Amino acid sequence: MEKQRLRKITINIAKILISIALLVLVFRKIPFREVAGLWKNVNVLYLFSAAIFFLASQIISVKRLELYLHICNFKLSFWSNLELYFLGMFYNFFIPGGTGGDAYKIYLLNKKFGWNVKKLTSTIFNDRLSGLLAICVLALTLLIPLFGIKFSPLILILILAGIFITFFATKKLFSDFRGVFFRTFFISLIIQCLQVICFVLLLKSLGLQSDFLIYGIVFLCSSVLSLISFSGIGVREILFLQASKYFHFYPQISVSASLLFTVITAFFSVFGVIFQLRKLNLTLSDSQE
C-alpha cells in the first residue's frame, strides 16, 4: 500500500514538473507582461458569462455521475453528489501530491455507506470514459467544416467507429452500464459544448472576434492531453503556441484565455474546501433513505 502511495506521489510530482517546464517554454516565447497586459483590458461581462458556462458544465457533470451511481444502486442525493464533486475538484487541483479527487470520493463513499470499492471505481472510470469519448467526437466533428466536405466521410467513419467500439467494450467489460451508455454520452457532449463555449467567451473577453473553430479544436485536444500535466496547466498553453505556427491566430490571446480558464477552474475548486470545512454530511436520495 505504501509503495502504491509513493508511486502516486511520484507521478503527481512529475506532472507538476512537466507543467512548470511547459510554462517556462511558453513564457520564453510570450513574455508574461503581454498576458498581463491583455488581462488588464478584459471584458468582465464575457468573463463572468464564461464562468457561468463552466459552472453549468460541472453541475451537469454531477448529474452524469449520478446516473452511473444509480445504476449500481448507489443512490446518493444530488446535493451530496455535488459537494463530493467539488471536493474532488479541490483535491485534484490543490493537492496534486496527495490523494486524487476520484480516489478520495471512493474512500468517503466506502467509509460512509460501505459501498463496494470495485463498483465505485468502475462507476467513476465509466464516467471519465464517457467524457473522453465526447471530447474526441466533438473535436472530430469540428474538423469537418475546417477540412471541408472532402474529408467528411472519413471523419464520420472515425466518429462512428469510436462510439461503437467504446459501446461494445463497455457492454463486454461493464455490462451494468450499457443501458445508460448513449444517454450519458449525450450528456457528455453537452458538457463539452458548454466548456468550448466557456473558452470562446474567454477569447471574446480578450478582444478576439473570429476564427473560434480552430481555437475550440485545440482546446478540446488539450483536454485529452491534460492527463500528462497538473490539471492541464502548461499543456493547453504549449499546444496553442505550437498551433499558432500552422494556423492563423494569436498565441498571446489563446495563451491568456487558457490561463483564465485555469483561474476559473481554481476558483470553483475552492468550493470543495468550503464543503470540507463545513463538515461534509453525505445523504442518500429519498428513494433509498
Dihedral Cα 96, 192, 225, 104, nearest 10 deg: 20
Q: Return the higher-pLDDT residue of 7 and 222.
A: 222
What is the pLDDT, as a whole number, of residue 289? 42
Which residues share a beta bridge with 284?
A: 76
At residue 210, does pLDDT exceed 90?
no
Cα–Cα distance list, 37 to 116, 252, 262, 265 (Å): 51, 10, 18, 21
Which residues share a beta bridge with 76?
A: 284
Among left, alpha and beta (phi > 0; psi -120 to 50; other), residue 114 is left
Window from 55-59, 168-172, 251-255 with minimum mean pLDDT: 251-255
Taking the C-alpha atoms of residue 88 and residue 82, their distance in angstroms, rounded to an integer, is 10
Q: Which residue has the cell 490523494?
A: 99
At residue 242, does pLDDT exceed 90?
no
Taking the C-alpha atoms of residue 279 and residue 194, their distance in angstroms, rounded to an integer, is 31
- CA angle 39–192–142, rounded 5-degree value: 90
Asked if residue 24 belongs to a domain, the reply is no
Say how many domains are in the chain: 1
- Secondary structure element (H or E) that encloses residue 243, with its range: helix 235-243
What is the pLDDT, as a whole number, of residue 137? 96
User: Taking residues 80-87, what's their average pLDDT?
Assistant: 88
Single-letter residue type at 279: K
Asked if residue 77 belongs to a domain, the reply is yes
Asked if residue 139 belongs to a domain, the reply is yes
State the chain's mean pLDDT as an integer: 85
Domain ranges, residue 46: 40-278
The pLDDT-based confidence of 8 (bands split at 50, 70, 90) is low
Contact 114, 90 (CB under 8 A): no
The total number of residues written for the chain in this structure: 289
Q: Return the higher-pLDDT residue of 195 and 12.
A: 195
Taking each helix axis from N to C end, the angle separating 101-113 and 78-94, rounded to the nearest 10 degrees, works out to: 140
Contact 216, 236 (CB under 8 A): no
Taking the C-alpha atoms of residue 220 and residue 134, their distance in angstroms, rounded to an integer, is 10
What is the pLDDT, as a whole number, of residue 286? 59
Asked if residue 284 belongs to a domain, the reply is no
Q: DSSP label at 174?
A: -
Asked if residue 8 belongs to a domain, the reply is no
pLDDT in tens, 17-60: 777 887 788 878 887 788 778 888 899 999 999 999 999 999 99
The pLDDT-based confidence of 247 (bands split at 50, 70, 90) is confident
* Model confidence, pTM: 0.88
Q: DSSP label at 229?
A: S
Asked if residue 150 belongs to a domain, the reply is yes
Range list of H helices, 72-174: 78-94, 101-113, 117-147, 152-173
Give the highest mean pLDDT range of 58-72, 94-108, 220-234, 272-286.
58-72
Taking the C-alpha atoms of residue 124 and residue 27, their distance in angstroms, rounded to an integer, is 36
Asked if residue 65 belongs to a domain, the reply is yes
pLDDT in tens, 98-150: 456 788 888 888 888 888 899 999 999 999 999 999 999 999 999 988 777 77
Window from 41-45, 176-180, 218-222, 232-236 with minimum mean pLDDT: 232-236
Taking the C-alpha atoms of residue 108 and residue 102, their distance in angstroms, rounded to an integer, is 10
Cα–Cα distance list, 200 to 47, 118, 184, 193, 275 (Å): 10, 39, 24, 10, 30
- CA angle 55–200–46, rounded 5-degree value: 65
Taking the C-alpha atoms of residue 259 and residue 34, their distance in angstroms, rounded to an integer, is 13
What is the pLDDT, as a whole number, of residue 184? 96
Taking the C-alpha atoms of residue 164 and residue 101, their distance in angstroms, rounded to an integer, is 29
